[in-house]
Structure 1
Amino acid sequence: MRTYARLLIKAIKSGDKTEALTVFSKLASKLDRAAKTKLIHKKNADRKKSRMALRINSIETKAA
Structure 2
Amino acid sequence: MANLKSQIKRNKQNEKRRARNSQEKSSIRTISKKVAKAIDAKDNPDTVKDLYQSFVKTIDKAAGAGIVHKKTAARKKSRLAKRVNAILKSQS
TM-score by length of 2: 0.64
Q: Which runs of 4+ in 1 moved over 2 A?
A: 60-64
Once the two structures are TM-superposed, the CA of residue 34 in structure 1 deviates from its matched residue by 0.6
Q: Percent identity?
A: 34
5+ residue gaps, structure 1, are none
TM-score of the pair, normalised by structure 1: 0.88
Higher RCO, 1 or 2 (CA under 8 Å, sep at least 6)?
A: 1
Question: 1:12 maps to which residue?
Answer: 39
RMSD: 1.3
Consecutive unaligned residues in structure 2, runs of 5 or more: 1-27
Instruction: State the aligned residue count.
Output: 64
